[in-house]
Chains A and B, each alone.
Chain A
Amino acid sequence: MSTQVLTNAQIVMGGYNLSSDFNQIALTETFDMLDATCFGQTNRIYKAGLSRIRMTGGGFVQDGSGLVGTVLYNDVGIEDEVVSVWPDTITEGVFTGGGYAFKAVAARYTPLAGGVGELLKFTVEAESRGVV
């Protein structure tokens, strides 16, 4: 697959399609690095521990029923929401170039950010719920 320009990412959180409200998105999977170094070693030795998934994103605030500001305000702290993120327009029936999903809790929401003269911005972070 060739390189992609991120122009039409799809973001669906719980029961809301928020794709057109975001202008940045990142999805990260990490593992705790457990230090397993013992005497006699000349380098640090690490083992992979527990994993976590984090989605971070942001865009411009819109408030009102069903709009992103209100949805995320009500969403933060809610457990067991499904978050799915897709790099481009969704094509049914393929994994290639497809999306990623995880069961999440919206862990952090910043409803108000920006500098003088800028559009009001939000940022949101969702973390993996850990139970599947």
Chain B
Amino acid sequence: MTDAKKQQSNKLSEAEAIERAKLGDAEAFEALYNLHKRRVYSLCLRMTANTAAAEDLTQEAFLQLFRKIGTFRGESAFSTWLHRMSVNVVLMQLRKKGLPVVAIEDTMETEEDAPRKELGADDARLAGSVDRMQLQRSIAALPPGYRMIFLLHDVEGYEHNEIAEMVGCSIGNSKSQLHKARMKLREILKTSRAEKAAKP
């Protein structure tokens, strides 16, 4: 089967599962869960950096989805609808805990949070050699505000206008935070690499 046909067949399967889920079919719920669980869980895990919290949020996101599935009319892609719901579930949880969703004002940054500007410094390049595990650890080490924007844009692929709407900031702020997140990650990755290289 060609890729296009496979996609077509998968889309039909999802559509069929949605219709059957509306009728309360247990297998259909499970099929929808299996189709989307990794993306939802990965998002929750990276946003919270905590496995237990991520699993609870994943559960909550799917439960909300399944409760509302009768209202899904197909105006947008199902995955988009689910994903938006997942992001909202995580954002609500972060707000409930009083954690910053995004750093709104540049002036509120501490010296520790702000990435150092090292223009012209003769540091080793990272390009072409960003280790996935290292990157995962570095993302977990980002301040929550930077982490949120970075995950939504670079990992999950949302555009700045969508991010701005979801987290309640301006498009300019979203771009600025993304840039700072990437700079901070670069700094963390280079520091880690330099430390490893310095070891005997």
**Are A and B part of the same complex?**
no
Which A residues lie at the B interface, using CB under 8 A?
none
Which B residues lie at the A interface, using CB under 8 A?
none
